[in-house]
Every structure is written in C-alpha cells, then in structure tokens.
Chains A and B, each alone.
Chain A
C-alpha cells in the first residue's frame, strides 16, 4: 500500500533538510527589495501615523494601515507612489480552522492547522482583515501588500471603487464571501453566489458541506491488501453497520 505520509524513517531526513532550509528562508523572508524600502518610506511620509505596522514577505513590503485611512492609502498609492494597477482586494479570516479529524487518528486527508490564533505578517487587531495588492505598470517590481483591520462587531471597511474602479467586483466578492460591508460601494450585490444564498462561505466557521456529509474517501473505503489481516484497528469503518 503506497502510504507516503506516516513512514517513520522519513522523519529524521525531513528534520535535517528543514534545518538548512530554515536559515535561508528566514533571511529571504525578512529582507526587502531596495524598491520596496523606498516605497515604504514614501508611503510613511504621506500617511504619517496611519501606518500601524509593516513587515516583509519575500521581497514585498506588507503594510498595515488604520481602518479610517484605508481609502486615503489607496489615493496615496495611485497618485503619489505611481501604483496605478490594482491586482485585487480580498479579506482573510484569522480564526483557527475547526478541527475536522481527531489528531492521532491517522486520517491525513485534511491538514490539521495549529489551534492558537496567530496574525501573520504585519499583525492584526482582530479576526477579520481586508487586504489588497497594488502594483505599478511603469516601473519594474514596484508593488505593495496593504492590510487593514476590520472591527469584529461592525464588519465594514472603506471602499476603493472611487480610486480603483476595478475594486468593484473584488469588493462584491469579499462582501459575499466574508460578510464585510464596503462603505461607498455603489451596489453590493452577489457576484458568484445565487442571490438567495445565506452565509459567508470563506469564513473559517462555515463548514465545507461536501466534507461534512461524506468523509474523505480513502479512509472509509480501505480494503485489506491480500495477505494483510483484516483486523478491527486497520479498517474500523468497513465493519460499522
């Protein structure tokens, strides 16, 4: 049976490879390109204390700004920094993913995410965060990842449609997927989902229904290999009814 996942001899090999890799990863992750450093300095000069925190993600600068300066950030990016191109606007839910399978059950079909809440590069104030990427079509490699916090009690953010018209569809998608309202958006209506749809599918507490009603095949449908003893511990689900 080609069981790649839990072979004991793989562990030490993986650990030694990790040791080398981690040092290089750490340095690559935290260094900024010269272009990004310059962009960050110019953004901070314009926004002042509206910039809460900044970090680096493999050469790109990640900037977290205050929610009330979100629209102003877009304007500064377009008018002063020359980032004329909007890549996307989206959101992220930092709540730890619900556990689908018990740990140690041997079911590796769904990756088990850590149980504690961490907030990624440049941090966050709460569970929800809106983030966007702007780029420049004029200069090489000029781009920024921008993030802003969203109040958990009152999910709203400023809309970018007045600055980047392309934000229209992205914000509609974020609204239906996360339930975050965008102030100043002309018409927040459903984009992908049918109009009577209830719930916000990309929130972490929204279940993946397909996985809830039928477990991932592979564990349930396992049949014993020829010559293998069909013990209870090997195939528990087959004998259930």
Chain B
C-alpha cells in the first residue's frame, strides 16, 4: 500500500481496552439468537406512494399480522372551513377546487347549487347539462387513474401507464372547456363562465370511444388476472351496515351491495333523471368488488356523457344574476355524488356577501375513518391493496 498513513512500527501500537464480557455478548447474539416475539410498531407513511399524499398509519404488528392501526391525518390541513368565513361566495370556489384535486369540477357543483338555492336562482338548462357532462368527465378521469394505480399497488406496472395515458385524453377535454386541467374554477353562481368551444363535441365523442375501449382493456388485463384476484378477493371486506354507520359512501358502499347513489336517490341537483343509466353494485364488499364497481361506473359515465352530448339543449349558459352577490339569510344542505363519495356543504348564510359558516363534508374523511376497524388482522402487504382500493385523496381528508 502506498496511500494512507503508515503504520507505527511494532511494539508501539496503541492499546485498545475491550471489555471481554461485551465480546462474549456479541458472539452469543450471533449464535444463540432467540426470536423476539413482542409486537412491533411500524410507521407507514406519511410519504408512502400508496397514500396519495401524506397519510400516516401507525400499525402494531404481530409478525406479519396487524393487531391495531391508527391513521394519523392532518399533515395537509388547510383550514378551509375557517377560510370560507373570510371570503365572498365567488371567491370560495377557488378554495373548494383544492379539496379533492382529482375531481375539482365536481367539488364546485354542490357549493354553487347551495348558493343558487339560497338566492332562488336556477342555472339555465344548457349550463346544467354542461355541468353534468364535466362532472362525469372528472369522474372518468378520477377513476381511470384508480384503475391504473390499483394495478400498480399489486405489482402490475402496465395498467398504471394505460391509466395515466387515458386520463390525459379526458383532462384535455376538461382543459378545452375550462382552461384548467386540475382546477377549473369554471362554475359561477347562476351558470358557467363560458360555453363549450367549437369542435368539442366530436373531440369528446372520440375520447369516450377511447375510454370505453380502455375499460375493456382493463377488464381483460386486470380483472381477469389470477394474481390480481388472489391479492384482492376476500380482502378488506366492509359489511354494509357497518360501512353506513361509519359514513362510508360512493363506490365503496356500493361495492358492499348497498344500492344507493345520490345522483338518483338524493335531492335532485343535476339532470340525471333525464338520462338512461344504472347504478352498479357488487355483493362482496372486498377490494376486488370496489375495483369492479369503479370499472363499471367509468363505463356508465362515458355512456352518460355521450347521451348528454346528444340531448344538449341550446340557449344561454348564465342566468341573470345581480352584480353584487348577496345571499339571503337561510341554511341549506346540498350533498352530491362525487367520484370519491358523498360530498356536501352545509351553508349558513346571514344575508352577507360571504357565508357565516360552511361545514364541508368530504367523502374521503369518512371513508378512511373505517381503517382502524378494517385493518385489524390483515397482513402487511394487504394494507397497501386496501388503501389503494378505498381510493382516497388526502386533500379530501384534511380539507
């Protein structure tokens, strides 16, 4: 060796005192290993890719089995309920765009309809139809991401590419109308900011054909895959009554066999009753059922968009609205079927230009609150598939 410091000559080596008992312990621990059977606490997140943001799960494990799980949320709490008290009604749509950022357009609709109800304004039919079409498009975009992502979580990477690719087509459609891919901010009290652009119908028709084709592809590639079935069948079962008592909504509860969809059963908010569509349910309630229901709902939404294009009425997209938006005194509760579940706003107005109190009921918050119950007794790899199949957005949990 030519580099480094030279060793001191023999006899001048520095003495190192080593405790002989420590050496013995070290040796014994290598040979005479006794298995530690105590519980282990594992921190999952807050930066795990399966959590779509910053959800942290503290899980207590016995070997590979979960004994208890405690979700820790609030890393992204932005205090929107407080902020709404300091904003005027038109300003608030900017905030609520960012609650569930995958389907921002669908977030705006219940708040705007609530304000319209209080003011006694009704959006013109064309605006209602465009709203319905864009809501369904954001549902398709949200679910396409899920259909790909869920494959990724069980170890299949191809569906993720398909999901992202097809979602891009749909986002282009939304961008064509609203100018924003993620945060359209397109709803106004009394209607919409703009009409549809030229050439949008044909673009939309061809994209819906692509979506329907890719749904078939997902059905062949993922649903029929034996590995996927083994990873998801009978895993993460939500019993219907318990799910309802926890407030689990949307596709998650329909996958448990509950035939309940606010588009059909709720207070009418958009012209869904003028369309020909059906509510999909699955009796099993496991992760597989949740995937299957969302797959069918993506198809159903694409068919709904095609019908909406055919029946689209002509006319203005904006009703006559006073320039200063003052909302009369009153209370209203509007809840809608968002892609992730029931999204609602309880608006209390005292006759000012801004609301007195807005309670934001977001879907993912209640969907995730069942996790401590669901995760008890499952294996560690199944945590990931359960999280992916519940499909939540952190902005929708933390608000």
Contact = CB atoms under 8 A, between A and B. Distances in A.
Interface in B269-304: none
A14 B359 contact: no
Interface in A114-171: 114, 118, 120-121, 131, 133, 137-141, 145, 163-166, 168-169
A166 B119 contact: no
Nearest to A33: B267
A121 B330 contact: yes
B361 A86 contact: no
A58 B332 contact: yes
Interface residues of A, number: 65
Contacts of A166: 245-248, 366, 369-370
A201 B79 contact: yes
B335 A5 contact: no
B99 to A, nearest CB: 14
Interface residues of B, number: 64
Given A87-B335, A108-B353, A201-B79, A5 B324 contact: yes
Interface string B333-375: 1010000001010101011111011010100011001100100
B31 to A, nearest CB: 44
B332 A57 contact: yes
B242 A165 contact: yes
Interface in A187-205: 190-194, 201-202
Contacts of B73: 191-192
Contact of B331 (A57, A85, A202): A57
Interface string B306-324: 0000000000000011111
Contact of B324 (A10, A163, A165): A10
Contacts of B166: none
Contact of A28 (B120, B249, B320, B398): B120
Nearest to A16: B322
Interface in B366-387: 366, 369-370, 373
A58 B347 CA distance: 12
A111 B398 CA distance: 25
B83 A208 contact: yes
B74 A92 contact: no
Interface in A21-66: 21-22, 24-25, 28-29, 57-60, 62
A193 B246 contact: no
Contacts of A120: 331, 348
Contacts of B324: 4-5, 10, 14
Given A87-B361, A168-B369, A137 B330 contact: no
A102 to B, nearest CB: 16
Interface stretch (B147-155, B193-201, B257-265): B257-265
Given A58-B117, A87-B247, A137-B253, A25 B335 contact: no
B329 interface: yes
A13 interface: yes
Nearest to A78: B245
B323 A111 contact: no
Contact of B322 (A18, A25, A93, A145): A18
B354 A164 contact: no
Contacts of B329: 118
A137 B258 contact: yes
A86 B369 contact: no
A110 B63 CA distance: 55
Nearest to A203: B82
Interface string B64-89: 00000000011001010111011110
Given A86-B246, A113-B350, A13 B357 contact: no
Contact of A84 (B121, B245, B335, B370): B245
Most chain A CB within 10 A, of B77, B245, B253, B267, is at B245
A213 B92 CA distance: 21
A140 B265 contact: yes
A97 B85 contact: yes
A165 B266 contact: no
A88 B343 CA distance: 11
30 contacts: A4-B324, A5-B324, A10-B323, A21-B121, A21-B328, A28-B120, A58-B117, A60-B333, A86-B244, A88-B247, A93-B357, A110-B354, A111-B86, A111-B88, A118-B329, A120-B348, A121-B331, A133-B344, A137-B244, A137-B253, A137-B260, A140-B265, A166-B366, A169-B369, A190-B74, A191-B73, A192-B73, A192-B77, A202-B82, A208-B86
Given A10-B322, A140-B265, A166-B245, 8 more contacts: A4-B323, A78-B245, A87-B366, A113-B350, A137-B253, A137-B260, A138-B260, A163-B245
Interface of A: 4-5, 7, 10, 13-14, 17-18, 20-22, 24-25, 28-29, 57-60, 62, 78, 84-88, 90, 92-93, 97, 100, 108, 110-114, 118, 120-121, 131, 133, 137-141, 145, 163-166, 168-169, 177, 190-194, 201-202, 206, 208, 211
Which 5 A-B residue pairings sit nearest by Cβ, starting from the closest? A111-B354, A14-B322, A21-B120, A25-B120, A166-B246
